A = this chain, B = another copy of it.
């Protein structure tokens, strides 16, 4: 349980480079195929080396609700999310669930410590992923230290996010948790100010509850209260508009709120 790791100045999750338009020519675009352009690993390698990375991958679509990573199963694959969202979670023997995160486009997952996965992953909505066989991935990481370096940066970012989530789960009130969640969904982070921001929440109330350590009812009531306080507006269950990010930041407990 030690700290996070700093390696250089790159942001943890840079926005993916746009796929270059190649004027209709069928030029090999290794980073573009299989959505690899969207992997943050991508810009760690030169294009000629990336071709090898792409060769490893097979694409796959996943229907909502399908569990594609099962905790304790042998970790034989590594996934890159191309589109859609997955929920990552752990279960207690009696069925209580904690969602440890949501993985959207660009996220990669499945490289566990030890021989088996330490969490399960299930599609929230329709997903597209690339699958990489583990042994090949391990060899590739060995051959390209730059990729491994990038992976360490990403892991360090995840670790910082995990610590932030521990603070939320251990010490924040329901109102603070929901405010934090909404602001975190608005990437890039909105510091403060009356910017109108509209969010789409692909996950259900049940998912949000299990992510925030609350119940469905508390999440719903808290959203209703935030609406009554004119901090947010609800356009159906999965569209949220942030009306006062300044106040929301203050509620969320952001260090640099006002």
- Contact flags (1/0) for A99-110 with B, using CB distance below 8 Å? 011110001111
Q: Complex formed: what's the CA distance from A255 to B11 in Å?
A: 36
Q: Is the CB of B165 within 8 A of A159?
A: no
A32 within 8 A of B: no
Interface size band for A: 35 or more
The verdict on A75 contacting chain B, using a C-beta distance below 8 Å, is yes
What's the Cα separation between A161 and B119 when bound, in Å?
11
- Give the contacts of A1-30 with B (CB-CB under 8 A): 1-9, 11-12
The residue that A113 contacts in the complex, of B5, B90, B119, with Cβ under 8 A, is: B5
Is A198 on the interface with B (CB-CB < 8 A)? no
Which among A111, A118, A170 has the highest number of chain B CB atoms within 10 Å? A170
Known contacts A96-B171, A159-B158, A165-B1, A7 near B111 by CB under 8 Å: yes
| Interface of A (DSSP majority class) | mixed
Residues of B within 8 A of A56 (CB): none
A6 and B110 form a contact (CB under 8 A): yes
Residue ID in chain B nearest A90 by CB atoms = B167
Does chain B have a CB within 8 A of A82?
Answer: no
Besides A4-B117, A98-B170, A158-B159, 7 new A-B residue pairs in contact (Cβ under 8 A), listed by A number? A1-B102, A2-B103, A5-B111, A92-B167, A92-B172, A155-B159, A170-B210
Which A positions have Cβ atoms within 8 angstroms of B? 1-9, 11-12, 69, 72, 75, 78, 88, 90, 92-94, 96-98, 100-103, 107-115, 117-119, 121, 134, 138, 141-142, 145, 148-149, 151-167, 169-172, 210, 212-213, 253, 255, 257
